[in-house]
Amino acid sequence: MTDIPGFAAIAPQLERLAIEVPSWAYGNSGTRFKVFGTPGTPRSIEEKIADAAVVHRLTGLAPSVALHIPWDLVDDYAALGEHAASHGVRLGTVNSNTFQDDDYKFGALTHVDAKVRRKAIDHHLECVDVMDATGARDLKIWLAEGSNYPGQADLRGRQDRLAESLAAIYDRLGEEQRLVLEYKFFEPAFYHTDVPDWGTSYAQVSALGERAMVCLDTGHHAPGTNIEFIVMQLLRLGRLGSFDFNSRFYADDDLIVGAADPFQLFRIMAEVIRGGALDADSEVAFMLDQCHNVEDKIPGQIRSVLNVQEMTARALLLDRDALAAAEEAGDVLGGNEVFMDAFQTDVRPALAAWREERGLPPHPMRAYAESGYQQEIEESRVGGTQLSWT
Amino acid sequence: MTDIPGFAAIAPQLERLAIEVPSWAYGNSGTRFKVFGTPGTPRSIEEKIADAAVVHRLTGLAPSVALHIPWDLVDDYAALGEHAASHGVRLGTVNSNTFQDDDYKFGALTHVDAKVRRKAIDHHLECVDVMDATGARDLKIWLAEGSNYPGQADLRGRQDRLAESLAAIYDRLGEEQRLVLEYKFFEPAFYHTDVPDWGTSYAQVSALGERAMVCLDTGHHAPGTNIEFIVMQLLRLGRLGSFDFNSRFYADDDLIVGAADPFQLFRIMAEVIRGGALDADSEVAFMLDQCHNVEDKIPGQIRSVLNVQEMTARALLLDRDALAAAEEAGDVLGGNEVFMDAFQTDVRPALAAWREERGLPPHPMRAYAESGYQQEIEESRVGGTQLSWT
Amino acid sequence: MTDIPGFAAIAPQLERLAIEVPSWAYGNSGTRFKVFGTPGTPRSIEEKIADAAVVHRLTGLAPSVALHIPWDLVDDYAALGEHAASHGVRLGTVNSNTFQDDDYKFGALTHVDAKVRRKAIDHHLECVDVMDATGARDLKIWLAEGSNYPGQADLRGRQDRLAESLAAIYDRLGEEQRLVLEYKFFEPAFYHTDVPDWGTSYAQVSALGERAMVCLDTGHHAPGTNIEFIVMQLLRLGRLGSFDFNSRFYADDDLIVGAADPFQLFRIMAEVIRGGALDADSEVAFMLDQCHNVEDKIPGQIRSVLNVQEMTARALLLDRDALAAAEEAGDVLGGNEVFMDAFQTDVRPALAAWREERGLPPHPMRAYAESGYQQEIEESRVGGTQLSWT
Amino acid sequence: MTDIPGFAAIAPQLERLAIEVPSWAYGNSGTRFKVFGTPGTPRSIEEKIADAAVVHRLTGLAPSVALHIPWDLVDDYAALGEHAASHGVRLGTVNSNTFQDDDYKFGALTHVDAKVRRKAIDHHLECVDVMDATGARDLKIWLAEGSNYPGQADLRGRQDRLAESLAAIYDRLGEEQRLVLEYKFFEPAFYHTDVPDWGTSYAQVSALGERAMVCLDTGHHAPGTNIEFIVMQLLRLGRLGSFDFNSRFYADDDLIVGAADPFQLFRIMAEVIRGGALDADSEVAFMLDQCHNVEDKIPGQIRSVLNVQEMTARALLLDRDALAAAEEAGDVLGGNEVFMDAFQTDVRPALAAWREERGLPPHPMRAYAESGYQQEIEESRVGGTQLSWT
């Protein structure tokens, strides 16, 4: 079952696939209606990192953990880095937060009041301090700002202020550091968001400089948006900084990547490969950003990185010469068949073998269930306050 | 300005317009990212009712307050009713809640476990007890249940169990009481919801009996849905129980009704009138269900009932004979012009005069600002815990 | 590769899968911008049937051909039936057409003018005459009617007239015949359609009688609609008459079924099986309704029936006991994994073997390419007028 | 009724509002299902221009007529210009067409075959020849190209070829001429379009030079898109070339502008004014692009320009100081009320007076009905072939 034609040839590229996991995925999350707690949920960033490390240990796919400031603020980042290293992972992207302070009710980097903007800029400068301390390359900025009612805010003035604020942050970056600006269609603002689409993010980062990039969260688009097209375009323009992977049926559902539409994930990975984002010199970062509201968190993360790996393997199997030949011949069904052949290939047995060759468990989900880790944390993590978004 | 042709003729129907306000609108609400608190927010159901009463006092439009159980549980409903009456309002629809108990993580009325279903049914029976105590007519059921991942749940089994559970609740109703079942497209469940559309609600309530009706929340539909068509259809089928008014740009944004698309609200009210839901014998209930995340709550409610009143007045001005004549003549532009003429009529001056005739302030928003009520509650409501959804 | 566990067990059900093909799929189709013609396109219903027969000969999946009146009007249906039989297929569902006569510009069955309604009803009675002549069971009604502008039409009056018109048609049916009413979200009408959703179709057919059913076209829903839920509900209510299969990214794109979202097709077939629609006594009809605007038509149809077969096979492999166990345990990821296991199983080799056992070519697409049929029709079908929608 | 406070002050800006009408709006149009013909429809470009001139004569709002090549190809553009001038209008934007030639089935400017691309480029060069002859400033390019199935085409290769083709066209422009690139979400291609969003159009035109701009068609966005945000952003970036006005409920419905969501049109015009696009030195062009499928064409166009004028007048009345003050105070409801006050002002009487002052009929729709023009063309335009899109 593992002798898929061409599988051996794709192993080097598969080897390069690394997916950063977010620290906050191991805490509780939910909707505005309810956040369900679960036994074993971490009470500290150290426990989150320990959980994240399990994902990497069982899959070999998740070598780094993204931090969220201030949720993951600590006094000693060197110690935190050592803690991570001792668990076999490292600290990754630093995410800022401008959506949970009362001062930001009507905006942060775009606020009409210069004092509030200054506060928000300073928060980002502190995030760069954290990056300096941890050696992180990327500062990821997702802005919750916008407005709920027409007339509440001046769209244009906010956009101009956003440009100024971002420039102040960008100036603080070190030479090896990057600013990555995420866009989002809506939520928590319901009439307008200040960075609603890739075009806005692209226009803003282009004005900053070479080390400003766009972050594409797969759940942050209007219904029906062709996401792989945006992947193609941003790679073509040299501005795709990173992915936030998740999946959705309706809005920003933050479900497990690949769960809602596996074929879409395949198409995205096919465009990732087409655009060179899995090449040896690629600087595109892959990251999860999900909410495990009703499912177990650690296996939820394992499932997620496996889904990305499976669709990446299928996409790597794509016969691009045959595709090109079909396109040149105007053979619509032929091209589609080549494409679907790769998508329909069941790569799971081959990936199980690939794992075993690397000393990893062939079936990470099963390995986790059998590891006893879940029972262990459920029993040991008693008392304290389970972490969540707040 | 107040001498709009035909305005005098519509006054009796305007007189009948009553919009129930939800107790929870006066507490804090927000998104999964943040709930902003505001000074003066009620700490008790009594304070919520006091705030709601201000809306009615200034507009004459909001004579009753909906309760939400368990948020508004009290020991003595007779006393609560007297409290309301002393403020010039009365207690209205009772709303159940099956989305904030850990037992309901995977369903309530549809849960695979009979014990959980029994608990959820019993909760509804308690709600009927409250109705008996307050004299409320309607039990409104909105179900948060559903699933997030394909394979998580058996859609069919859940639907059958829903029918059983609803029947158990329906059986408990008194002869003058009604069960009103709300539908919702998605959220908090992201793959399927157990009552996603009006068709499902209609099929379920039809199986129960004459006193089971559908609740139409204007924010609970797929993008692009023609909501006035559903209003027409449910009135035609005799199953429109009530409205939950709000507005939206994207998902279930719960913004002020009429804020996102005033023309849609006009069309809805036109169909309400066309279907007899403002007639003297109508049993259709109108209610707000909104979240004032960033705007002030009491004036947010005043604005809302005024928006409904304004669009109702415009819709009442519609020249239906001219519409019918245009339709018979196949005169598309003529019919549309008649329709838009009513929509574009600025009824605000006439409504201000209408209010004055009834001893109400002509400009309720201004009257509230000048009343000092907001300052008063901000100063007096110190200490205690501001109420919110949890 | 063909020894998929459990595959042998599903063969009897696979055997029952039959997908009706529409005669019009073999003619030219397009968008409002352009209809591209292709060499070999049929000039007569006889040629369409010949082409349809090729699909069945190579797949064993498409034993009948749906007719569209008046596009497929002939003088002698007995002769047409014999023609079909001689090609190894039979005549199927009769589709009416009320969207291409100038009289129907503002409606047909709902028109404000009784004479137009009568004309439209009479057209349907003629369709039943065709059914009598061909032995068809189903009269399928898709209505293009609606309005483009608010105020153009009275939604309620049209709905009432629709009920009357349908009753007049229903009364004419023979005891073994059925009326199947299709719904569609929008297009060609852009403000309202008279049968926009399954709820309306369900309410209308329920009022008619036992032999009136709903037709679910997979492309006729609002963005984000959970279609398998509707499949479940209509089967539960005993009113799912037939499917019109196709796929879409945006609107009613009428692409090859399974092309846009194969996982959705899998979920739909899983619900079809769950609801008994593949059982021996099922009366649910499966049919394609697609437009091969840019791809070759005959292989487009072959690809389509194969896609349905593949997803049906995967859905039949679903381990429903394991699913039920996961649901009872509240094991979200476990249930999802069982579900995805079936979806990710590559059934193509097993189906190729299954075909060979039945004397069919293992690879129908390849067999068609090698058959020379396409060249033959391109050469022989010279002169005459290629058929299209008009 | 005409003494709206502030109305006198906005007259100069109202004066500047000019809306180009498309020649093709006066011909027949429809959907893929049916094109309805109507008596009096033009048989030549000269008759189209005559009809367009009526719109301008009655409204003073539509001084120019856009041409579509090859639909409006003539031998002598000087003569055509004189014909237009004699009717009181002039020739405007030249629109290219790459969607109705069989060679363009799989693309034009993006086609994989250099010969087809050359043909498509040459077509655009001919369009510039027409511009030279007519004195038109703008070449508007809407591309129908894309693909229907994943695997059919290489998204990236097509984007690169698009850039090359556009550069070849741009190079041919005179110093006073502009290239305006339109984007469209979907249709007639259903999987991907080569210019799907404003970001792509912006990236492409930015690479060309200063005289390359974006065209925003109000119907070419995903559901829920905040269009006024894009207006703001393109104006801010200096790349908003022109508008194609129309309205929609679902997809690219091409209904009369302002018919589906008048409040959206108001918000768009408010952002137009905010961004300076109605200033004296603005080069932003306003144009209709609609399909009058079921309504009369000439009054359909009159209604359209009036709708734009009405919403422009309302938007000009917006009290921007009050808005700014509300934003600075964080007064959400206050800002919204200022915004809605302008929207709810019934400007029709004031505009009627404004027209009379300028020698125009106060009620253009009525004036058209009473003019006898429709009867005249219905009687005189007998024989010949009514023009439509093909």
3-state secondary structure of B355: helix
CB within 8 Å: C294 and A332:
yes
3-state secondary structure of A248: coil
CB within 8 Å: A105 and B259:
no
pLDDT of residue A5: 84
Encode pLDDT of D260-294 as tens digits: 999 999 999 999 999 999 999 999 999 999 999 99
Is residue A339 classed exposed, middle or buried when 0-12, 13-18 and 19+ CB atoms within 10 A define those classes? buried
Nearest CB neighbour to C259, from listed A259, A310, A336: A336
CA distance D379 to chain B (A): 20
Work out the average pLDDT over A141-146.
Answer: 98
pLDDT higher than 50, residue D347: yes
Dist. CA D264–CA D214, nearest whole Å: 20
3-state secondary structure of B126: helix
Work out the average pLDDT over A175-199.
Answer: 98
Supply A63's token pair. Answer: 């070598």
Q: Which of C344, C348, C366, C374 to mutate to test the interface with A (most CBs of A within 10 A)?
A: C344
Domain spanning D12-318: CATH 3.40.630.30: no
Q: Which of A71, A104, A105, A149 to mutate to test the interface with B (most CBs of B within 10 A)?
A: A149
Q: Are C97 and C109 in contact (CB under 8 A)?
A: no
Encode pLDDT of A200-249 as tens digits: 999 999 999 999 999 999 999 999 999 999 999 999 999 999 999 999 99
Supply B51's token pair. Answer: 């705030």
Torsion of CA A154, A160, A165, A170, to 10 degrees: 150
Confidence of residue A1 (pLDDT cuts 50, 70, 90): very low
CB within 8 Å: D303 and B343:
no
Share of chain C above pLDDT 70, in %: 99
Nearest CB neighbour to A263, from listed C250, C262, C348: C262
pLDDT higher than 70, residue D2: no
pLDDT higher than 70, residue A2: no
pLDDT higher than 90, residue B291: yes
Dist. CA C298–CA C303, nearest whole Å: 9
CA distance A219 to chain B (A): 12
Query: Is residue A31 left, alpha or beta, with left meaning phi > 0 and alpha meaning psi from -120 to 50?
Result: beta
- Kind and range of the H or E run holding A313: helix A297-316
Work out the average pLDDT over D121-138.
Answer: 98
Supply A125's token pair. Answer: 């400068």
Contact residues for C170 (Cβ-Cβ < 8 A; gap 6+): C179, C208, C209, C211, C212
Q: Tell how strand B285-288 and strand B19-22 pair up.
A: parallel
Is residue B132 classed exposed, middle or buried when 0-12, 13-18 and 19+ CB atoms within 10 A define those classes? middle
Query: Is residue B330 left, alpha or beta, with left meaning phi > 0 and alpha meaning psi from -120 to 50?
Result: left
Contact residues for D223 (Cβ-Cβ < 8 A; gap 6+): A222, A223, A224, B223, B224, C223, D250
Work out the average pLDDT over A2-9.
Answer: 83
pLDDT of residue B105: 98
- Smallest CA–CA distance from B151 into chain A, residue: A259
Q: Are A14 and A313 in contact (CB under 8 A)?
A: yes
Report DSSP state, residue C61.
Answer: -
pLDDT of residue D390: 72
Measured distance between the N- and C-terminal CA atoms of chain C, rounded to whole angstroms:
47
Distance of CA A279 to the CA centre of its chain: 19
Supply C53's token pair. Answer: 């027969």
Dist. CA D296–CA D299, nearest whole Å: 6
pLDDT of residue A389: 85
Encode pLDDT of A146-180 as tens digits: 999 999 999 999 999 999 999 999 999 999 999 99
CA distance B135 to chain A (A): 28
Q: Are B255 and B247 in contact (CB under 8 A)?
A: yes
Torsion of CA C261, C264, C266, C267, to 10 degrees: 170
Encode pLDDT of A93-120 as tens digits: 999 999 999 999 999 999 999 999 999 9
Work out the average pLDDT over C236-263.
Answer: 98
pLDDT higher than 70, residue D27: yes
- Smallest CA–CA distance from C294 into chain A, residue: A332
- Smallest CA–CA distance from A31 into chain B, residue: B32
pLDDT higher than 60, residue C2: no
* Omega of the bond leading into C188 within 30 degrees of 0 (cis): yes
Which of A193-207, C2-16, D94-108 comes out lowest in average pLDDT? Answer: C2-16
CB within 8 Å: D222 and A221:
yes
Dist. CA B121–CA B123, nearest whole Å: 5
CA distance B326 to chain D (A): 12
Supply A266's token pair. Answer: 């395949």
pLDDT of residue C4: 87
Contact residues for C29 (Cβ-Cβ < 8 A; gap 6+): C35, C254, C291, C292, C293, C388, C389, D32
Distance of CA C55 to the CA centre of its chain: 15
Supply C9's token pair. Answer: 């067990």
- The set of chains that have 3 or more CB pairs under 8 A with C is A, B, D
Report DSSP state, residue C101.
Answer: S
Confidence of residue C314 (pLDDT cuts 50, 70, 90): very high
Supply D181's token pair. Answer: 């690139």
Which chain B positions have a beta carbon within 8 Å of A99's beta carbon? 33-34
Listed residue (B77, B91, B177, B65) closest to B133, CA to CA: B77
Confidence of residue C1 (pLDDT cuts 50, 70, 90): very low
Encode pLDDT of B21-72 as tens digits: 999 999 999 999 999 999 999 999 999 999 999 999 999 999 999 999 999 9
CB within 8 Å: A344 and C345:
no
- Smallest CA–CA distance from D226 into chain B, residue: B249
pLDDT of residue B226: 98
CB within 8 Å: C294 and D187:
no
Q: Are D249 and D260 in contact (CB under 8 A)?
A: yes
CB within 8 Å: C335 and B226:
no
Nearest CB neighbour to C267, from listed B150, B230, B233: B150
Encode pLDDT of C285-298 as tens digits: 999 999 999 999 99
Query: What's the whole-model pTM score?
Result: 0.98
Work out the average pLDDT over C322-332.
Answer: 98
Q: Which of A115, A225, A229 to mutate to test the interface with D (most CBs of D within 10 A)?
A: A229
Encode pLDDT of B349-378 as tens digits: 999 999 999 999 999 999 999 999 999 999
Sign of the dihedral through C-alpha B183, B189, B193, B197? positive
| C-beta neighbour count of B177 within 10 angstroms | 18
- Smallest CA–CA distance from C251 into chain D, residue: D251
Listed residue (D210, D213, D212, D240) closest to D228, CA to CA: D240
Listed residue (A92, A231, A216) closest to A142, CA to CA: A216
Encode pLDDT of C221-241 as tens digits: 999 999 999 999 999 999 999
- The set of chains that have 3 or more CB pairs under 8 A with D is A, B, C
Encode pLDDT of D31-51 as tens digits: 999 999 999 999 999 999 999
Domain regions of chain D by residue span: 12-318
Burial C69-79 (b: 16+ CB within 10 A, else e): bebbebeebee
- Looking from the CA of B146 toward its CB, the CA atoms found within 13 Å total 24
Round the average pLDDT of chain A to a whole number and report it.
97
Burial D8-37 (b: 16+ CB within 10 A, else e): eebeebbeebbbbbbbbbbbbbbbbebbbe
Supply B250's token pair. Answer: 């994207």
Separation in Å, CA D12 to CA B203, D242, D276, D309, D314: 58, 21, 14, 13, 14
Round the average pLDDT of chain D to a whole number and report it.
97
Q: Are B42 and B26 in contact (CB under 8 A)?
A: yes
pLDDT of residue C69: 97
Dist. CA B170–CA B168, nearest whole Å: 6
Q: Are C57 and C103 in contact (CB under 8 A)?
A: no
Work out the average pLDDT over D353-365.
Answer: 97
Encode pLDDT of B154-202 as tens digits: 999 999 999 999 999 999 999 999 999 999 999 999 999 999 999 999 9
